[in-house]
């Protein structure tokens, strides 16, 4: 059994025995899940991708000037690399390292990028970047610019986000920089439709996790027994996605039996939102010093460029 399948099985087994039940969001992104998410980013309700792309397009000259040329561009959770094309065309990277957990989707994307940017060496890396992994040896001597768009940092709890930022600093190495997208706090009238669109794409994306469990882990989950739920958690400043049982349901996964009562949920994803000050504190706690920030006119989303800094003792 492949390492990724073992990790998936372990997370599903552990998460379904907890109360409340939870499965890490990274497992939403198999090939079909990745394709569904890319479709979600094109929806009018899903503002983060559209606004972040607009911010990047206008900030590129400043980003390029501050970061400097010939850095290896390392993207964490590359997906379709749609926003990365802006950077590849402008900042003159020495190489591009797209990192994604979905190997098939990664290979498809890389093939298109190689044709579009034939002079840029591309080293696709299939990995779960929330866990230790090694960068390609071909960029060992290059300074690095990490790229972490889409407010993916918001998928993690605050403690986990700090741990991940520290891990990214260790992966990228001394002298590296990080370009990161961070979603701002805003009203539920904007947030909820972005995570529960009337077209049903986000519901299909969330429910696809159950398809994946059945297909890859030998599950017998009755798909019609669950529905997608998005809710705002005001205490944690986050959108939560859940799979809610619409009736009492029993099923097996890999030979183990599980039960959910009607109304019980499997928590599948968070999307934390940050004010400007909280975002800067988060980056500082993770070992990154913000050096520049760009936002849209309405202040819905921000892109921050930060540099790695060593821990400092308090006076």
Q: How many CA atoms lie within 13 A of 218 on its CB side?
A: 9
- Six-digit token pair at 263? 């109304």
User: Measured between alpha carbons, how far apart are the two ends of the chain, in Å?
Assistant: 52
Those residues whose C-beta lies under 8 Å from the C-beta of residue 113, and which sit 6 or more positions away, are 81, 84, 85, 88, 96, 98, 120, 122
Hunting for tokens 């299939």 — which residue is that?
126
Among the listed residues 126, 123, 121, 168, the one whose alpha carbon sits nearest the alpha carbon of residue 34: 126
The separation between CA 273 and the C-alpha centre of its own chain, rounded to angstroms, equals 14
Q: Is the pLDDT of residue 1 over 70?
A: no
Largest CA distance in the chain: 59
More confident residue, 35 or 315: 35
36: confidence class by pLDDT, cuts 50, 70, 90: very high
Share of the chain above pLDDT 90, in %: 83
pLDDT at res. 78: 85
DSSP designation for 143:
-
The average pLDDT across 114-129 equals: 92
| Predicted TM-score (pTM) of this structure | 0.90
pLDDT at residue 30 tops 80: yes
Asked if the model's pLDDT at residue 315 lies above 90, the reply is no
Predicted pLDDT of residue 220: 98
Q: Retrieve residue 240's tokens.
A: 């939560």
DSSP letter at 139 equals G
Listed in sequence order, the residues at least 6 apart from 151 whose beta carbon sits closer than 8 Å to its beta carbon are 48, 52, 181, 182, 183, 271, 301
- 307, HSE (Cβ side, Cα atoms, 13 Å): 9
At residue 146, the pLDDT reads: 97
Mean pLDDT (whole number) for 157-182: 96
Segment 250-283, tens digit of pLDDT: 999 999 999 999 999 999 999 999 999 999 999 9
Sign of the dihedral through C-alpha 127, 147, 181, 168:
positive
Neighbours of 47 (CB within 10 A): 20
Q: Which of 13-17, 84-88, 262-266, 278-282 has the lowest mean pLDDT?
A: 84-88
Q: For the chain, what is the mean pLDDT?
A: 94
What is the pLDDT, as a whole number, of residue 48? Answer: 95
Distance CA 70, CA 177 (A): 13
Using DSSP's 3-state secondary structure scheme, residue 126 falls into strand
Mean pLDDT in residue range 88-97: 92
Helix (H, G, I), strand (E, B) or coil at 77: coil
Q: What angle do CA 41, 42, 45 make, to 5 degrees?
A: 80
Instruction: Determine what percent of the chain is predicted with pLDDT higher than 70.
Output: 98
Q: Where are the alpha helices (DSSP H) in 17-96?
A: 31-40, 47-67, 84-90
Per-residue pLDDT, averaged over 182-194, amounts to: 96
Q: How many CA atoms lie within 13 A of 26 on its CB side?
A: 21
Q: What is the mean pLDDT of residues 104-131?
A: 90
């Amino acid at each position: 059994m492949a390492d990724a399948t073992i990790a998936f099985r372990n997370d599903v087994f552990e998460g379904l025995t907890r109360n409340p039940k939870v499965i890490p969001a990274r497992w939403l992104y198999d090939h079909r899940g990745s394709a569904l998410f890319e479709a979600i980013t094109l929806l009018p309700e899903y503002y983060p991708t559209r606004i972040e792309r607009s911010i990047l397009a206008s900030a590129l000259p400043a980003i390029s000037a501050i970061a400097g040329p010939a850095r290896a561009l390392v993207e964490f959770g590359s997906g379709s690399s749609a926003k990365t094309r802006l950077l590849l065309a402008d900042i003159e990277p020495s190489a591009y390292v797209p990192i994604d957990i979905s190997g098939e989707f990664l290979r498809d994307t890389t093939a298109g990028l190689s044709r579009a940017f034939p002079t840029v060496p591309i080293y696709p890396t299939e990995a779960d970047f929330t866990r230790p992994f090694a960068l390609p040896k071909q960029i060992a001597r290059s300074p690095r610019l990490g790229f972490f768009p889409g407010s993916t940092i918001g998928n993690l709890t605050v403690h986990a986000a700090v741990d991940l930022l520290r891990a990214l600093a260790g992966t990228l190495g001394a002298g590296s920089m990080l370009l990161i997208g961070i979603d701002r706090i805003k009203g539920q009238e904007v947030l909820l439709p972005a995570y529960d669109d009337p077209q049903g794409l986000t519901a299909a994306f969330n429910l696809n996790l159950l398809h994946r469990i059945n297909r890859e882990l030998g599950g017998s989950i009755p798909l019609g027994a669950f529905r997608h739920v998005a809710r705002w958690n005001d205490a944690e400043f986050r959108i939560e996605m859940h799979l809610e049982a619409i009736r009492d349901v029993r099923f097996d996964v890999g030979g183990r039996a599980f039960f959910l009562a009607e109304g019980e949920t499997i928590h599948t994803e968070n999307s934390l939102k940050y004010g400007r000050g909280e975002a800067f504190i988060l980056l500082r706690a993770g070992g990154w010093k913000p050096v520049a920030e760009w936002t849209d006119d309405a202040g819905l989303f921000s892109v921050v460029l930060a540099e790695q800094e060593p821990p400092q003792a308090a006076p």
